[in-house]
Every structure is written in C-alpha cells, then in structure tokens.
Amino acid sequence: MALKPRLEMRQAQGLVMTPQLQQAIKLLQLSNLELTEYVEQELERNPLLEEAREEGEPERASDDYEPDEITPDNDWDTPDPASLTLSEDNALPTNNSDLDTDYDNVYADEAVADKTASAEGQQSSDWHQVKSAGGGFDGEDDFESRLTREQSLQEYLSEQLNMSALNARERFIGAYLIDQVNEAGYLQESLEDTAERLGIDMEEAETVLKVLQTFEPTGVFARNLAECLSLQLAEKDRLDPIMQSFLENLELFAKRDFAQLMKVCGIDKDDIQCLIDDIKSCDPKPGHAFGDTPSSPVIPDVFIRQKSDGGWAIELNAETLPRVLVNTQYYNEVSKAASADEKSKTYLSECFNDANWLVKSLDQRARTILKVASEIVRQQDGFLMYGVSHLKPLNLKTVADAISMHESTVSRVTSNKYAATPRGIFELKYFFTSSIASSSGGEAHSAEAVRHRIKELIDAEAPNAVLSDDAIVDILKSEGMDIARRTVAKYREALRIPSSVQRRREKKAFA
C-alpha cells in the first residue's frame, strides 16, 4: 500500500471552552473582593457597561462634567436618557485631528524623552546606583507609598541606629547585624560568623550587639528564645537568679515537667505559677509587630436567618454583588454613527456581546450560590439549631446530586464564600466534613463533631483522672462513634492539645 497524502472528513464530538464559558467559571470561584475588582476593570474597559444605581443615588462626579450642556435649566435633576442624542458636534473622534492633542500625550505621566531613552536602551549607571541605594524617586517607592506603607522592622531599627551614640565603624557593624535580623526579630547569623566575615574582634561585635539589644521593640537581636525572654524580663526588673534558672530549663517547661522544674529552681507551686505568668506576659516574636499586612475583615456572601415558623431564610448579601447594566441606548446611537466604519462596528459588537455575557454570568453566579447555600442549610439544619455536635458528614457529591450540578461547580461556589449564621460566620467549605462510622450501625458522625467532643472530654477531665487516648476511644465508642486511637491522637494534635502525660504533669503541679 503506497503512502500518499489525502483528504478525509471525520465527525467527532468534543467539549470546547469558549471565552464566555471560561469567564463564567472564573467569576464563579472569585471571592466578593476579587469579583468587585474584576467588575471595576470591566467597567473601565467596556464603554457599554455602566454601574447600576438605586433610585435617588447620585451619579459619580466627573472632572469634565458640564451641567449646562445637559440641563439647560441649571438644575441637578437626572436627565431623561431618551433626550440625549449624538450629534456631529459631540461625535466620537476617529483620528488624531479630532482630538485636542495627539496620541503621544495620552499618558501624561510618561514623557516623550523617557520613552525615547527606554527604546534606545540608554540608562545611566549612576541612576542605577541611586535606585539601588533607595534614595531616588522610583515609581515603586515614591513619596505617596512612604505615607501609606507600614514601617518595616529593619527601617525602625535603622532609625534607632542613626540616633545612637555609636561611631561610624560601630554603625557599619550595626547595619550589617540589622540585615541579619529575621521577621520575628531574631539574629540569624552567629556572632562568630559575623566577626569572621567583617574581620573584627569578637569583643567589638559583642559590644555593638549589646547596644543593639537595647533597641525597641525589646527582645530584638536575640539569638534564641531564652535570650529574647531575658531581655524583656530584664526591662521589667523580673530577671532574678530564679528566673534565670527557669529560662535555662525551658525544655522542662515545654514538656510540662513542672515537678522537675520546681526541683531545679528550688521553688514551690505558687512561685512557679508567678514565673509562668511573667513568661506569658512576654512576646516571643517581637519583630512581628512591624510590617504585617493588615488582614481584611470577612464579608459574608450569604445571610442565614431563622424565621418565625422555625425554618431558615437564605438571602444573598446585596452589598457584595456588583450591579452593572448594558447601556443599549448608547450602543444604538453610537452604532448609527459608526455604521460606515467596519472596524468600529466590529469593536462595538464585541463590547456589546461581552457586556451582555457579563451581566448574565453575574446573575447566574448569584443564583448558583443561593442554590448551593440553600441545600447546605437543608443538610445542616441540626448544626444551625443545636451546634457543632449535630454537624452531619457531608461531601460535594451529595450537594451536587441534590441540585443537579457537577461537583466541580459546587467546589468553586464554596471556595472563598462565607455565610453569616446565628452561630457565627463560617466558610461554606466548613460544612463539608468527612464521616466517622457509627459503632452501633446507626447514622455516621461528622469528623468536626468528633473533634469537638474530644475537646469537651479533655476540658472536663479531673486532675487525678487524666484521659489517655485509649480512654477517649472507649468513651467515644460507648457513645456510638467507631474511631481508632491514631485518629484520636491526630485530632488531638490538630487541636494543639498536649498528650495525657504532659497534661498529667501540669495538673499535678497546680493541684
């Protein structure tokens, strides 16, 4: 059989992800803040989109707003959109001659000379040195950003270094040590390595370090946790020999071996309790007070309220939903003016289709979130009524089958979405938990409910009857929860609860 090229026609089926479908999927998994930012970008890009305003809400002020042209009576009433027409005097500009400037001046912040120099690749080495030194007016570190950006730990320490009584040589050593401080405020490099790297004596390095350890916040430049706590306790005048001995045996405190700790320090239960209170008043990571990004508050997407008849009312948070409309009148008027230009006509048609699809996608997103949230409330009615102990095991497939959707759709809807309930604000994914089989063959238990029960048992245990993991397993099995010992240990560690040995030592010490 000879090999030769030929044409064949085949028929096949395939799933094609259109740009509109990709946009709908993207909108579905965005949080409320991300969705607001995305819609604002679309409002700037698409001239046919406009923000919907409620009745009586004023329009946004504009720099080129001229009320005399729109309202001849000089009043501030909103004009009738039907009365606005597009004449030859206010037609859209089609070339440079229709503008009061050329396209080179559209970006006012960028000079023509800067663009020419950038195109030719001519950059001064002196300018690179100024930027690397942090003294220039770089776009990423301008005056406005200095006012709004939170001061970092290194900047705060450098200000104190410049105001200290150290000479130029010692300030150079101090600046190097500041660069070796991590986010928590600890000195990462050993003092021996610093002395060897800078070619100085250990005595000189230790002298500079002692001065730096007097800087605020107290505890910075410490080389370990014990030194960080001792610096803070010394400032509070609480660093006596007993406290010093306590800090030298912090590993016993971590193991909750208070009996051995009291023996080493030569103190009783009342004294060790005072020492522990002093330790707890210190900050083990003093550097975290600087440069932290403020966490944004959680804004719920869904409100769940109990009705008078005992049911639940589920409604979307209207404040988080962007309100956009398609300006069809503006599209019709501009289409008439641009009917002769094929390129402009194509552009307007694409903008009109994109705007319509965005509005439909936002509406579909809201309906999907409401449908998923309603099914979650139906499944977790016991949690809303009685608390976490009645949380049922639930997975994505159960909800997807109930509302006739795909599991991936439910997963996207529940990501970064929050619901405000009478018991607090929870992420929608919180209601999906794995199941623990029932020992009596009845209904399965939620893993979150089991964790809550383990915490209740440990909190209620007596000092002379500390529950081991095996004892907790026996209690849970008697309550109908078939669970293994390793699962109890895993849940206990996730709750940051120490082992029974450590809890027994702690309770005996303060009994």
Q: Which amino acid is at 452?
A: H
Which two tokens mark 351?
A: 């903008």
Helix (H) or strand (E) holding 44: helix 32-45
185: helix, coil or strand?
coil
Residues of the chain with pLDDT under 50: 60-141, 143, 145
Tell me the C-alpha distance between 438 and 451, whole Å: 15
Tell me the C-alpha distance between 194 and 69, whole Å: 72
Helix (H) or strand (E) holding 373: helix 342-379
420: helix, coil or strand?
strand
394: helix, coil or strand?
coil
Tell me the C-alpha distance between 316 and 365, whole Å: 11
Which two tokens mark 415?
A: 């990501």
Which two tokens mark 123?
A: 């950059």
DSSP 404: T
Tell me the C-alpha distance between 510 and 456, whole Å: 21
Sign of CA dihedral 84, 86, 88, 90: positive
Which two tokens mark 373?
A: 């949230």
Tell me the C-alpha distance between 46 and 442, whole Å: 57
pLDDT on residue 510: 63
Residues 486/480, Cβ–Cβ less than 8 Å: no
pLDDT on residue 90: 38
Residue 227 neighbours by CB under 8 Å, 6+ apart: none
Query: Nearest CA to 128 among 138, 119, 118?
Result: 138
- Packed helices 168-179 and 153-162: angle between N→C axes, nearest 10 degrees: 170
Which two tokens mark 139?
A: 């776009």
pLDDT on residue 295: 63
pLDDT on residue 271: 84
pLDDT on residue 336: 81
Report the residue count for the chain.
511
pLDDT on residue 291: 63
Tell me the C-alpha distance between 392 and 445, whole Å: 6
Residue 230 neighbours by CB under 8 Å, 6+ apart: 239, 244, 247
Residues 177/168, Cβ–Cβ less than 8 Å: no
Query: Nearest CA to 435 among 395, 383, 479, 398?
Result: 395
- Inter-CA distances, 274 with 246, 262, 280, Å: 12, 12, 10
445: helix, coil or strand?
strand
Tell me the C-alpha distance between 235 and 140, whole Å: 39
How far does the chain reach from its first CA to its final CA, in angstroms?
94
DSSP 481: B
Tell me the C-alpha distance between 187 and 222, whole Å: 6
What is the reported pTM? Answer: 0.59
